[in-house]
Chain A
Amino acid sequence: DAKTTQPNSMESNEEEPVHLPCNHSTISGTDYIHWYRQLPSQGPEYVIHGLTSNVNNRMASLAIAEDRKSSTLILHRATLRDAAVYYCILMRASYDKVIFGPGTSLSVIP
């Protein structure tokens, strides 16, 4: 399985942008890059996904490196409600499972 590497934890000040990095050097051509987040005591929540081009939605932006070996989830303006564990996951077109790594625990400081 293609693996991702993320920092264990990060901190951000409220109302400032947050850049959450993810390395996936063994990514294959059919792997999609997905981001999920999990708030305390809740199930994970889909954030965004992409293949090659940068993506934007109402929650976040996803910047994908040209060689696709890394990506960055961007929260444009962190709020206290964004404090969660963020998971970067690769999903193959022909591969069913979502396997979670340790993720990055984001703390937002008021």
Chain B
Amino acid sequence: GAVVSQHPSRVICKSGTSVKIECRSLDFQATTMFWYRQFPKQSLMLMATSNEGSKATYEQGVEKDKFLINHASLTLSTLTVTSAHPEDSSFYICSARLGKPYNEQFFGPGTRLTVL
């Protein structure tokens, strides 16, 4: 199956700093990628939809100025958590879609962010 990678897998940063997470589709082109956040013992929460070459679409309640998404190519989307605070500590997961919307999505392994 298609492979989606994320980098880094874990990151620890100080409060107030910015952190960039990369999501890559390794063996296919993804016009659309998705970013999720997952807190412990909870389900995944969709943050935003990232479309190549255009602005991301954010879900209600997600601050677009805090979570900057860039989808500059068909194989790379980045999520930057700006001015991170301890409450931003979470498991961030990206996914990429193959083909039409009703086809399966492939998920990255996730990035564990800890803000001190």
Interface residues of chain A, those whose CB is within 8 Å of chain B, are 32, 34, 36, 38, 41-46, 49, 85, 87, 91-103
Contact = CB atoms under 8 A, between A and B. Distances in A.
A92 B101 contact: yes
Given A97-B46, A99-B46, A43 B93 contact: yes
Contacts of A34: 104
A49 B43 contact: no
A41 B110 contact: yes
Given A43-B95, A44-B44, A100-B43, A93 B100 contact: yes
13 contacts: A43-B4, A43-B6, A43-B93, A43-B95, A43-B107, A43-B108, A45-B107, A46-B1, A94-B101, A98-B46, A100-B43, A100-B45, A100-B46
With most chain A CB atoms within 10 A of its CB, the pick from B4, B45, B46, B107 is: B107
A12 to B, nearest CB: 21
Contacts, number: 60
Q: How large is the interface on B (under 10, 10 to 19, 20 to 34, 35 or more residues)?
A: 20 to 34
B43 A101 contact: yes
A94 B112 CA distance: 32
Contacts of B104: 34, 46, 49
Contacts of A32: 102
Nearest to A48: B104
Contacts of B6: 43
B97 A96 contact: yes
A55 B101 CA distance: 19
B107 A92 contact: no
Contacts of B34: 97-98
Contacts of B45: 100
Contacts of A45: 107
A32 B99 CA distance: 14
